[in-house]
Homo-oligomer: A and B are copies of this chain.
C-alpha cells in the first residue's frame, strides 16, 4: 500500500478517497486478490488520520464485496463477484455521467472511445 495519497483539500471525504484508491489499486493490479491491507491502526498512522476513518472505508469495502475482514489478520482483498448486481450498480453510476455527456454533445461512439482508453490504461497498468 505505497499507493494511498490523500488530498486533504479535496471536497471528497477522506474515507471516500480511501475507498476509491483501494479500488483503483485492485483494478491496476497493484493490489491483488489475497493480499492483506494494513491494519486500520497501521494505515491510519501511516496516512496521519484517525483509525475510525480507515475502519469506515474498510467496512464499506467489505459491504460492497471488495475485501473480507479477518479478526486475526486484518483485511484481505477478496472480490465477491455478483456480476448481475455489479452491472446494475455500474448502470446506475453511468446514468448521470452519460446524461452529462449527452448535454455536452458527446456521441455514443466518443464515449465508448473513452471507455476503451481507460480499460487500456488499467489493463497495461
Contacts and interface: CB of A to CB of B under 8 A. Distances in A.
Contacts of A65: 104
B26 A103 contact: yes
Given A79-B103, A103-B23, A115-B115, A97 B91 contact: no
Copies of this protein, total:
2
Contact of A114 (B23, B90, B96): B90
Given A91-B114, A94-B97, A66 B103 contact: yes
Interface residues of A, number: 43
Contact of A118 (B94, B104, B106, B123): B94
A92 to B, nearest CB: 10
B90 A100 contact: yes
* Secondary structure call for the A interface: helix
A75 to B, nearest CB: 15
Contact of A115 (B28, B89, B104, B112): B112
Given A23-B100, A28-B99, 10 more contacts: A23-B99, A83-B106, A86-B106, A87-B110, A90-B106, A93-B100, A94-B118, A95-B118, A99-B122, A108-B116
